[in-house]
Amino acid sequence: MRASWRFRAAASVVLGLSAHPALAQSVEDFYRGKTVSLVVSSSTGGGYDTLARMISRYLPKHLPASPNVVVRNMPGAGGIVATNHLYSIAPKDGSTIGAVQNNTPFEPLYGTKQANYDANKFNWLGSPSVETSVLAIWHASPANTWQDARTTELRMGSSGANSTPSFYSRLLNETLGLKLRLIVGYPGQNDALLAMERGEIDGYPSAFFNSLMATRPTWIGDKKVKLLLQYGADKEKALPDVPFIADLLTRDEDRALWNIAVAPLGIGRPYLLPPDVPKDRVDAVRKAFWATINDPEFFAEQAKINLGADTPRTGEQIAGLIAQAYKAPPAVVERIKRLQGEK
């Protein structure tokens, strides 16, 4: 009888420990000796990738137990492949971080069939910047102003018919009457910029100004490209002479449309943890991410290559902006869906 009681008592202890694993392991214990994967939703060589690789070097010293951080590129479908992976497949224990393109949180809102995730369930860590996009064309292209693009057809590089560059091309065509023709098949912005140099296309409709300055720092100064338009949450101070889309719109319905369309730019280059990661690990990684993007050494290094990581947003701010977008009027959302095309 006494032996049986001791067995039941021991079994209760074991079951109790297995039912509460978080109580048995601190955040520091979890990350000690770990390798953390940083999944980047774009191809190598562009602004997202450049930033993620820099963050991966500084983040370990701010994470508990200083684990290694290794970048893993997972391009495809304008960032949706990686975001699906982070939502459904990636470990939900804090060992995988995502750096996703800023369109991805809004793809379910736009009705994108491939976007099999709920953006409001991710654990948003923050962003080192907000973004301004530019309609950039090669200096040899037959247009000099955005008004010229109303009468002159310009070939725009894009990764796919339903990608972000394609969406903004259709949006610019509809609201300003431009003649942008899509040439699809370029995996990312860097590939499209190379195609501009080779003369395969005239330009790129949604180049991040910060990424352009980081990956092609001499292009604007050397007048290799012409910037016809800029758009985003705010006008880029470094581009005072480039027309800002909000100043050109004359119809209220077009302004409402663009307010939703530029919401991705307002969250910049967002980082996340998958859903259901234990709260103590989410809190620790958020704190480490914020410390990283405000690290004086990181800030100095990113400034040297013009990454533009100088307008940070917290994870809570990003989550709030995403939640607000999902409250948009149905008529505006339906128009966005139509411009996104069959998705």
Strands 225-232 and 68-73: unpaired
232 in the same domain as 161: yes
The answer as to whether 33 is a domain residue is: yes
The answer as to whether 97 is a domain residue is: yes
260 in the same domain as 137: yes
pLDDT value for 23: 52
pLDDT value for 111: 85
pLDDT value for 233: 85
User: Percent of the chain, pLDDT > 70?
Assistant: 92
43 in the same domain as 122: yes
257 in the same domain as 191: yes
In angstroms, rounded to a whole number, what is the distance separating the alpha carbons of residues 247 and 267? 21
pLDDT value for 280: 98
Backbone angles phi, psi at 93, to 5 degrees: -120, 0
Higher pLDDT: 298 or 167? It is 298
In angstroms, rounded to a whole number, what is the distance separating the alpha carbons of residues 131 and 229? 14
183 in the same domain as 198: yes
Q: Residue 308 sits in which domain range? A: 26-130+268-340
Burial tier of 20 (Cβ tally within 10 Å: 0-12, 13-18, 19+): exposed
195 in the same domain as 91: no
Closest of 188, 190, 144 to residue 163, by C-alpha: 188
334 in the same domain as 299: yes
3-state secondary structure of 183: strand
Kind and range of the H or E element at 181? Answer: strand 180-184
Q: Is the pLDDT of residue 17 over 80?
A: no
239 in the same domain as 182: yes
197 in the same domain as 116: no
Strands 123-127 and 271-273: antiparallel
Average pLDDT, the chain: 91
Q: What is the pLDDT of residues 139-160, one digit of tens each?
A: 999 999 999 999 999 999 998 8
Domain-ending residue, one of 245, 264, 283 = 264
The answer as to whether 199 is a domain residue is: yes
Number of independent structural domains in the chain? 2
CATH number of the domain where residue 233 is located:
3.40.190.10
The answer as to whether 163 is a domain residue is: yes
In angstroms, rounded to a whole number, what is the distance separating the alpha carbons of residues 259 and 190? 27
Identify whether the C-beta of residue 75 lies closer than 8 Å to the C-beta of residue 187.
Answer: yes
CATH number of the domain where residue 92 is located:
3.40.190.150
296 in the same domain as 182: no
Domain-ending residue, one of 215, 243, 264 = 264
Find the mean pLDDT for residues 312-319: 96
Domain-ending residue, one of 240, 264, 288 = 264
Closest of 260, 263, 228, 226 to residue 245, by C-alpha: 228
The answer as to whether 212 is a domain residue is: yes
User: What token pair was written down for 283?
Assistant: 């809190």
In angstroms, rounded to a whole number, what is the distance separating the alpha carbons of residues 170 and 34? 45
The answer as to whether 20 is a domain residue is: no
Closest of 230, 221, 209, 201 to residue 141, by C-alpha: 201
- Looking at the DSSP bridge assignments, the partners of residue 180 are 154
98 in the same domain as 181: no
The answer as to whether 143 is a domain residue is: yes
The answer as to whether 87 is a domain residue is: yes
Q: What is the pLDDT of residues 61-108, one digit of tens each?
A: 999 999 999 999 999 888 999 999 999 999 999 999 999 999 899 999
Q: Is the pLDDT of residue 221 over 60?
A: yes
In angstroms, rounded to a whole number, what is the distance separating the alpha carbons of residues 264 and 106? 7
245 in the same domain as 159: yes
Identify whether the C-beta of residue 183 lies closer than 8 Å to the C-beta of residue 157.
Answer: yes
pTM of the shown model: 0.78
